[in-house]
Structure 1
């Protein structure tokens, strides 16, 4: 990585010296897709109030400006307080009407500036922050036999994140890199950035929608790359490239799903750590039942993602009892497991997890949803998840219902032993509760392996291990 690169400067500024877990090598078309996902959020949440509009910092590398992107930024500029575009002088932006708007500033880069090798999109808004930050591989990084023959084969070190502190720090770094070209502009951009940072009266923006788009864009960009590659590569080259790309995209799509699940928890004021607790207790029951390692991993991950189907749910879902919801919202609540499974279906590697989440509300006697599975037709992981999710929910207050103690919540579950829940699982849960109340064990608060993306938001702590296998 070039020492002057924005990526490297960000890494050196972080206390741990480590970049976010999304850091990796990306193909160009994937970066375009990620940028489009973040830009779409600006366009779809456009506000006429300048105080609500984002500051946007862009580096369009050294390539020629694409007309369709210039047209896109004409619309983005109408929804932004200010846009600063850094590119080489002949990029074409200066001649386009988007580059002549009052709230668009151009920084004409010196071709010898390492910034011309970067592709950056940094968005700082009152209620959220996001960015795609990239630097193209050098010729030495590509190695002789892997030099890109086509534009779409170009690769970049890069990352994407919604971590506000890291985005704001990156904005400061980029502004300072623009300062040698226009110190007055740098002062204005820095002032705007600080004004946005100082606003403490703005509620956080729900980013579950944009995270969902990131997942979809990652999926579609992968398919596009493979399609084009099949037309230009021999079969054995394609298979090797696709395998490497699949691993890279799978990790990033999984991170996006985990972020979405975490946002669901953050929207639930009464139960903000539901996913961590459900994952932890499900894993504990699985260990007591001596489940194979692969099933424990799937159960742990399903616990973290079990509420992902509520990513677009209205606020009342998190503040009202299910019996008090209006009909349209009640239908969404009842279908949350199906929605979650469908959402995870965008990633084939998560098919086992989607199956667990889909069937978590099946009943032991066959009276549950969505497929009326009975007994051992229900995956063991789904049986455990359904019981634990209900138990954990009962231990938290909701609307007019007070939080129940562990033994009271267990009693509620035992009433349905044999109809909703498998009796042996209820008995195992009872053993955990009794041991906890006797002080012989502590009810787990988080699973043995927590994905890095989750820990970053919780405490900025580094995890000892990470979730890598399904």
Structure 2
């Protein structure tokens, strides 16, 4: 770790160099969980008194800053005195409306500054203080066999604490490191810090609820790691069964993946043919958009496999609208594309299909997941799959939400044109829905080609899109 890092400077400043007991090595998704738990406390604490609102300092890493967090920080800004966000200049945040708020400041980090290797969140309020302080491991600190293959496998030295002395010392170090970028701003923030520290007669917040939320979030992130491992083991078990039938290793892996995808559909009693319908309609849109044959084949297969990341998700994912899920279950729904891509990575031959599945939740305006890709940066197959998956989901009952007609579902998609979805893909979907309404075609419910394993074991319910 760089000697200039905030963590190293904090260790040098603390008595006997004793860091909090939470200090250790964390996976990236665990850090996301920690930060979200602390941010949620701000979002869930309503106050009309600006003097008790917190000062928030956030340091994001080098590379594109995920724009899905920009909207989250707009809401946090409504409940904060001031927010300082440090990120490299091409993070994409400077063009988002959040950066234009009066109480939000942006520092463009020099790519050569070691701060770009840090991920920090500091919250200073008169009634409590909290911090997540992290520094990514250098490449040579990984053992060869442990080097991260995917984003979520990246590791960080880090800590989190509510200890006021540690938070205060960390804040001083971080602000001093940022001073060369904007001395006047840092002076104002240090004055705000002093005001907060000097506040008297402010009841201290009971942080037990926040700690409970942190534990819940950490359990959720750990459950995802366990789920991926469990799903991988299941994949190999299924592959072993397939080996009895065929000696073609790649065919066996693919059959195992397809069976896992079928199990997801079988668990979803309200939508047991989602994969078939999504694959079929995606293929139709791809044909109308003149995708070459190879891309159509990959898109068709991605449609069959796009829900594979939900194979070990809690049952509530299939019976409850996303807006009503609890924190733990919502994480499975939110990260389903990334988890599915991690599973598909076990078969290198499926890399193009993995990329489609991984990026089908990216949004046209750059605010999607997992990489905040924007517009044409998103593979065309992923744009199609994301739109069709959303459309198909709306045409099915989910919990207390009734199924929409194809036309009503299309209108929901059209409202998200140029924000979530590719306008050209929506226009093409609109043409298909209109032709179906005129009786000139039927909405496709089965792809043109279907693997034998699916034909043999496909679920029994009807494959008609509800209208």
Structure 2 length as normaliser, TM-score? 0.49
Point out which structure has higher relative CO (alpha carbons under 8 A, 6+ apart).
2
